[in-house]
């Protein structure tokens, strides 16, 4: 499956993000996430994918380090209103999702991207809670 399927699919419930998530939620990567992160996983992937596409032009099959980093540290904290549990789940969920997509040959350099995203965890939460950065923390 690749991003071109998004253009050809018009069946209800068959959008690529839903299909990618369906595969992810049955993976070992998903199962290794703590319960709190699994509960937030769909929202994290759906919201991150939307913001990434809208602000960096990258869909999940084309995520690259620079765009993901910008979305994690600049775009989401300023444009999305979320609570602490959401922002704490972003890096672990995206890391696990990237590993799954890499394993399925749906994301080039997914392992490297997963490692990079994992390093952003504390920074992302710090940016999301920094009132000087114009964050939207609930």
Mean pLDDT, the chain, integer: 86
In a domain, 2, yes or no: no
Where in the sequence is the domain holding 98, given as residue range(s)? 26-133
Q: What is the pLDDT of residues 4-15, one digit of tens each?
A: 444 333 444 558
In a domain, 92, yes or no: yes
pLDDT of residue 133: 63
**Radius of gyration for the alpha carbons in the chain, expressed in angstroms and rounded:** 14
Please give the share of the chain, as a percent, with pLDDT higher than 90: 66
In a domain, 67, yes or no: yes
The total number of structural domains in the chain stands at: 1
Max intra-chain CA distance, the chain: 44
Find the mean pLDDT for residues 106-133: 89
pTM of the model: 0.85
Specify the higher pLDDT residue, 33 or 106.
33
Find the mean pLDDT for residues 44-72: 94
In a domain, 5, yes or no: no
Determine the Cα–Cα distance for residues 136 and 124; give it in Å rounded to an integer.
Answer: 13
Instruction: Give yes or no for a contact between 106 and 1, defined as CB atoms under 8 angstroms apart.
Output: yes
Q: What is the pLDDT of residues 11-29, one digit of tens each?
A: 445 588 888 899 999 999 9
């Amino acid at each position: 499956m690749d991003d071109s399927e998004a253009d050809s699919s018009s069946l209800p419930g068959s959008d690529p993000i839903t299909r990618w998530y369906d595969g992810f939620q049955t993976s070992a990567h998903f199962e290794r996430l703590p319960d709190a992160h699994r509960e937030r996983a769909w929202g994290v992937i759906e919201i991150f994918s939307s913001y990434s596409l809208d602000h960096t032009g990258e869909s999940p099959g084309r995520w690259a380090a620079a765009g993901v980093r910008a979305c994690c540290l600049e775009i989401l904290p300023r444009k999305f209103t979320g609570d602490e549990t959401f922002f704490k789940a972003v890096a672990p969920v995206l890391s696990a999702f990237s590993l799954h997509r890499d394993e399925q040959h749906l994301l080039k350099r997914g392992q490297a991207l997963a490692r990079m995203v994992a390093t952003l965890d504390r920074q992302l939460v710090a940016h999301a809670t920094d009132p000087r950065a114009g964050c939207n923390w609930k």
